[in-house]
Amino acid sequence: KIPMVYIPIENILSKYYGESAKNLSEIFNYAEKFPRVILFLDEIDSLAVSREQGIVEATRRVLSVLLRKIDGFENKNNVLTIGATNRAKDLDHALLSRFDVIIRFPLPDIKERFNIFKKYIKHLIEDELMELAKISEGFSGRNIRDVCEMAERKWARIIIKENKQIVPPPKEIYKEIILKKKLEIELWNSSG
């Protein structure tokens, strides 16, 4: 029964110098007005990249505000701060040390991937969904959702371009998108 303030990063970041740090500080100040509140910072890695990576001054200021507000003289006990990231390895060590608990969610196993595909794809039979689950090893739930949306958009373009009958995408479209996405993920992981 504690209110939660959800803060997408785009509500904090600004192209103007000093504005992002000011926005972040104001969000914490607002949250502190509640008797108790959960402050949820999604994609916190956009705010708190490691200083070892050579960050710019504006980013350093945002990180400084975040560190002071989470655990410092300015910390208020009524605000529970939760940060979410897909790039924990990029977070500043000082920030990580401010959180009392760190919970890691592993990538879904084959059964979980099957269930995620089943949630988004209603027209394929279970054997087809299992095939997609097998070839999508290493995918997150978001990756699977992206695959499904991309496959639907691609299939819609094919229907329009070729004046086909309107039917749900075949399994092959999903497989094609999975293989492309797999290459993207591999490239991303090897460059990071």
Q: Tell which wins on pLDDT, 110 or 84.
A: 110
Q: Token digits for 147?
A: 């695959």
Give the sheet arrangement for strand 79-84, strand by strand. Answer: 4-7, 37-42, 79-84
Nearest-angstrom CA–CA distance, 60 and 114: 42
Quick: pLDDT tens for 126-176: 999 999 999 999 999 999 999 999 999 999 999 999 999 999 999 999 999
pLDDT of the residue at 49: 59
pLDDT of the residue at 35: 92
Q: Which helix (H) or strand (E) holds 38?
A: strand 37-42
Q: Which of 141, 111, 116, 117 is nearest to 129 (CA)?
A: 117
User: For residues 141 and 108, is the Cβ–Cβ distance under 8 A?
Assistant: yes
| Dihedrals phi, psi of 24, to nearest 5 degrees | -60, -45
Terminal CA-CA length for the chain: 40
- Mean residue pLDDT across the chain: 86
Alpha helix stretches (DSSP H) within the chain: 19-31, 57-70, 93-98, 110-120, 126-135, 141-162, 171-191
pLDDT of the residue at 111: 98
Quick: pLDDT tens for 22-48: 888 888 888 889 999 998 988 887 776
